[in-house]
Amino acid sequence: MEILIPAERIQSRVAEMATDIARVYNGKPVTVVGILTGCLMFTADLIRRIDLPLRVGFLTASSYRGPTTVASKLIIRDDLLPDISGRHILLLDDILDTGKTLTRVVAHLIDRGAEAVKVAVLLRKIGRQEVPFEPDFVGFTIPDQFVVGYGLDFNDEYRHLPDIAVLQASEPR
């Protein structure tokens, strides 16, 4: 597989993002909410570098099936999430693609009583967005290719790779 972003570059960019985030929140307590499972490594690496009073929780949002499937019905499960009412939420996702997932999850968190929601994504794909949505923090902007590694999967495989790589259409799946 062709490596698009090597592990060392991910690490240094995540560190920069943590610094930006701490500056924006300026000492205010934040509840980090990760969208499983893709957020796994991004969350673990980012929160260790965020110098703020911090709580962390997770939810799942499933709809995406593969490179050709369009996200339609999104199922959000948040039964493992701590109480978020009145909290300032920093929502984390691995990648902003069409924007549907994040738009719906932000609305869901506001619905559940969050005071405010900011969004940090590790990756943002160019030319794929279908709904207007502006994340507050973006790690890398990438071309319209299907990527795996550092939490990102294809059919739940490849998440454990330390780099982000391009999954070729011809790759065995």
* Residue 117 site contact among ligand IMP, Mg ion, none (CB < 5 to 8 Å, cut-off depends on kind): none
| Calpha distance 48→58 (Å, rounded) | 16
Number of neighbouring beta carbons within 10 Å of residue 137: 18
Q: How far is the CB of 94 from ligand IMP (least distance, A)?
A: 5
Q: Please, where are the H alpha helices in the chain?
A: 7-25, 40-47, 100-111
* Residue 146 site contact among ligand IMP, Mg ion, none (CB < 5 to 8 Å, cut-off depends on kind): ligand IMP
Asked if 38 is part of the footprint of Mg ion (rule: CB under 5 A), the reply reads: yes
Q: In terms of CB distance, is 31 or 101 closer to ligand IMP?
A: 101
Q: In terms of CB distance, is 34 or 38 closer to Mg ion?
A: 38
| Calpha distance 7→4 (Å, rounded) | 10
85 exposure class (CB count in 10 Å sphere: 0-12, 13-18, 19+)? exposed
Q: How far is the CB of 116 from Mg ion (least distance, A)?
A: 23
- Which listed range, 1-9, 30-38, 76-84, 157-165, lies at the site for Mg ion (CB under 5 A)? 30-38
Query: Interface residues for Mg ion in 82-141 (CB under 5 A)?
Result: none
